[in-house]
């Protein structure tokens, strides 16, 4: 199975809110009238990147995991997507407005830990649960179950169950797993407070705009008192990301659209900020939050310039995950 890629981008996975795809009726021919009807689906996605690690990082910033361990996290999100559509073609439909709050719990179980380089490979099983208040109202609410590996090089592999997760909950999961696996993608050297590093990487999610890249800067901001466990010390990381466009605003067509005899022209921009607290005692992420501001103004049309649809999107989101302390298990009789 092709690994689901983690990287410093989706590990920040930043909810781009400007992803898109073409939906074609079965049997439609490229360029035909029915074939050029598109459904542009703007969703809040995370950015899961492709950064490879070259050697071991400081072990205290990598989770110290053993088979049989279980953990509980809360994940909360607030999403707001404003969409304006201008079209001369009534048959073309587009994204809807989105505004609302999301909350889930994630129950995590460590299945296997295998030694490897640059880091161990970990097999995890998790349940995506309604938050505590929703469980109190409807205890029988079904849990969404997923299994996956975090590979030694920071990628995800053997991902099962994600297709059954609703889009909104998928957003929360992607944000959470990016934070949980943050230790796998830290630079290989020993880090000290005040250090920072920059990198640039292409946007890998489907988009109506070609040539999008992320300019990122991560700073090991400080060591501070941990949330949840105030007696512990946490390493605090700040990541700032800016979305830049290298394609021309007069022709921003992705290759997949050219193949379907479509053309796009427009612009996209954005800024994301992530703050992550990692326990120096356990290596677990105890708290993380992400703030996103992104926008897109794009026209989608046939390659001959007809049947144009303009989408203007403004999107913001705030996501947060928090470790939930659990009472120690009672000793066996």
pLDDT digits (tens, 9 = 90+) for 215-231: 999 999 999 999 999 99
**Distance (Å, rounded) from C-alpha 114 to C-alpha 121?**
5
Mean of per-residue pLDDT scores for the chain: 79
> Residue 51 pLDDT more than 90?
no
Q: Which helix (H) or strand (E) holds 170?
A: helix 167-180
pLDDT band at 253 (very low <50, low <70, confident <90, very high): very high
Name the region of 18 (left: φ>0; alpha: ψ -120 to 50; beta: rest): alpha
**Distance (Å, rounded) from C-alpha 20 to C-alpha 24?**
13
> Residue 331 pLDDT more than 80?
no
pLDDT of the residue at 18: 43
Backbone angles phi, psi at 59, to 5 degrees: -60, -25
Q: Per residue in 176-208, pLDDT tens?
A: 999 999 999 888 778 899 999 998 988 877 789
DSSP 90: T
Higher pLDDT, 253 or 55: 253
Q: Per residue in 4-49, pLDDT tens?
A: 434 333 333 333 344 433 333 333 333 333 333 322 323 333 333 3
Order the strands of the 309-324 sheet from edge to edge: 156-160, 144-150, 121-130, 98-114, 70-87, 309-324, 285-302, 262-279, 233-245, 212-225, 196-202
pLDDT of the residue at 137: 55
Q: Which of 63-67, 184-188, 249-253, 303-307 has the lowest mean pLDDT?
A: 184-188
Higher pLDDT, 310 or 19: 310
CA dihedral 152, 277, 214, 177 (to 10 degrees): 50
**Distance (Å, rounded) from C-alpha 5 to C-alpha 1?**
12
pTM of full prediction above 0.85: no
pLDDT of the residue at 204: 76
pLDDT band at 333 (very low <50, low <70, confident <90, very high): low
DSSP 54: -
pLDDT of the residue at 33: 32
**Distance (Å, rounded) from C-alpha 24 to C-alpha 37?**
7
């Amino acid at each position: 199975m092709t690994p689901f890629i983690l990287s410093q981008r989706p590990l920040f996975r930043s909810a781009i809110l400007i992803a898109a795809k073409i939906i074609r009726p079965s049997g439609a021919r490229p360029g035909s009238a029915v074939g050029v009807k598109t459904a542009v689906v703007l969703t809040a996605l995370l950015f899961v990147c492709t950064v490879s690690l070259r050697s071991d990082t400081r072990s205290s910033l990598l989770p110290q995991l053993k088979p049989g361990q279980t953990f509980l996290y809360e994940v909360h999100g607030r999403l707001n997507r404003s969409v304006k559509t201008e079209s001369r073609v009534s048959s073309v439909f587009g994204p809807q407005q989105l505004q609302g709050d999301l909350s889930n719990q994630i129950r995590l179980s460590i299945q296997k830990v295998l030694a490897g380089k640059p880091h161990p490979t970990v097999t995890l099983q998790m349940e995506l649960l309604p938050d505590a208040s929703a469980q109190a109202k409807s205890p029988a609410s079904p849990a969404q179950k997923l299994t996956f590996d975090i590979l030694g090089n920071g990628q995800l592999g053997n991902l099962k169950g994600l297709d059954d997760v609703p889009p909104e909950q998928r957003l929360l999961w992607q944000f959470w797993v990016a934070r949980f696996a943050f230790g796998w993608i830290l630079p290989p050297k020993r880090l000290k407070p005040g250090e920072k590093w920059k990198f640039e990487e292409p946007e890998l999610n489907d988009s109506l705009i070609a040539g999008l890249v992320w300019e990122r800067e991560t700073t090991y901001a400080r060591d501070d008192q941990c949330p949840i466990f105030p007696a512990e010390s946490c390493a605090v990381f700040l990541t700032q990301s800016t979305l830049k466009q290298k394609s021309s605003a007069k022709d921003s067509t992705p290759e997949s659209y050219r193949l379907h005899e479509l053309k796009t022209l427009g612009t996209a921009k954005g800024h994301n900020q992530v703050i992550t607290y990692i326990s120096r005692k356990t290596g677990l992420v105890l708290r993380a939050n992400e703030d996103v501001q992104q926008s897109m103004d794009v026209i989608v049309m046939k390659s001959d310039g007809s049947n144009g649809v303009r989408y203007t999107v403004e999107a913001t989101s705030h996501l947060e995950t928090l470790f939930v302390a659990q009472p120690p298990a009672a000793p066996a009789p």
